[in-house]
Amino acid sequence: MIGTDIRHAAALLKSGQVVAIPTETVYGLAANALDAEAVALIFAIKKRPAFDPLIVHIHSVEQLRAFTSGQVTTDAIRLVQTFWPGPLTVVLPKAEVIPDIVTAGLPTVGIRMPAHPIVRQLLSILDFPLAAPSANPFGYISPVNAAHVADQLGEQIPYILDGGVCQVGLESTIVDCTTSPCKVLRLGGISIREIADALGYTPESLTHSISNPRAPGMLTTHYAPRKKLILTSDESVFAHYAGQPEIAFLRSCTPFTGHKIQYLLSSDPYDDRKAASRLFSLLRELDSNPHIKLIIAERVPDHGLGSAINDRLTRAATELL
């Protein structure tokens, strides 16, 4: 069921159930982060491996101190003051009250304060934080509207809180603040340049794939359509496939002359924020079109949110050329 009743969503969450919620990044599959049994339902519904940690969503900076242990680092304070509420997750040592299932047994927890007004209102009337990965089957394209959630998980969850289309369209940037200097674990809705400006230095990026990730979204294959997707920066690849039926081109902003089925992430001139907001919707549209058998995607310019977009496309790709 899709609706806008915040209090109904809150009642379901208080009873230990799972609810889909809107955020400015993507829709989340939420449960009481302090209830291990409720959190286990998230893993079961998503078919998510237990080694992949979840992000905890809060509504105030005071809660950050309540759900972490030790002193909040200077870097974390700078980032929180600059980007919260917003698409930033900080990783800090976890408080004992956070169940191990949330953090995949790690001694650290990722926490963020979302900016979407509906989820902020929801969090404000709850006396617990929400653990919430993206509201989609594990490894598939993240949902950016309520219909996306309903298409894939609607029969498995009692309620989808509808907050419209997600404005950012990429998951949060995750920064590990347990080390000095801190490190970026996942590229996302805040660019490396913005992070660097807030910190006064450019942090190292550890977004490479690993089998036991320190944060969500670090696996080799993720955010992927079921159809084959080739990712390239080589115009000769597009020339090779141009004119062939049942093949779609996903381009940054400029169509390739001589091909019929083309989708553009941005109008010309290229806008990285518009491209980010359209990425998952277009991947879903391409994947659901029965007339398309193969997707050829173009890497976007690698500046601003371009690095995060290319990261998602790389993880979604079947082949890199």
Residue 267 marked in a binding site = no
CATH architecture of the domain with residue range 228-320? 3-Layer(aba) Sandwich (3.40)
Pairing assessment for the beta strands 88-93 and 160-161 based on DSSP bridges = unpaired
Residue 60 marked in a binding site = no
At 211 the pLDDT is 44
Which CATH class name applies to 2-205? alpha beta
How large is the average pLDDT for residues 304-312? 91
Report how far residue 239's alpha carbon sits from residue 30's, in angstroms, rounded to the nearest whole number.
Answer: 44
Amino acid residing at 285? E
Q: What angle separates helix 272-288 from helix 146-153, to the nearest 10 degrees?
A: 30
Residue 172 marked in a binding site = yes
Residue 278 marked in a binding site = no
Neighbouring C-beta atoms of residue 288, cutoff 10 Å: 12
Whole-prediction pTM: 0.88
How far, in whole angstroms, is CA 185 from its chain's centroid?
Answer: 13
Helix and strand totals (H; E) in the chain = 11, 16
How large is the average pLDDT for residues 234-250? 95
| 118: nearest Cα among 11, 39, 27 | 27
Neighbouring C-beta atoms of residue 87, cutoff 10 Å: 27
How large is the average pLDDT for residues 239-258? 94
Residue 223 marked in a binding site = yes
Q: What is the pLDDT of residues 3-58, one digit of tens each?
A: 999 999 999 999 999 999 999 999 999 999 999 999 999 999 998 877 789 999 99
Report how far residue 118's alpha carbon sits from residue 4's, in angstroms, rounded to the nearest whole number.
Answer: 9
Query: Where exactly are the structural domains of the chain?
Result: 2-205, 228-320
Residue 68 marked in a binding site = no
Q: What tokens does 225 get?
A: 């359509």
Q: What is the DSSP string of 94-119?
A: BPTTS-HHHHTT-SEEEEE----HHH
Residue 132 marked in a binding site = yes
Residue 263 marked in a binding site = no
Q: How confident is the model at residue 217 (pLDDT cuts 50, 70, 90)?
A: low
User: Is pLDDT at 176 greater than 90 in this prediction?
Assistant: yes
Q: What tokens does 5 get?
A: 């009743």
Residue 57 marked in a binding site = yes
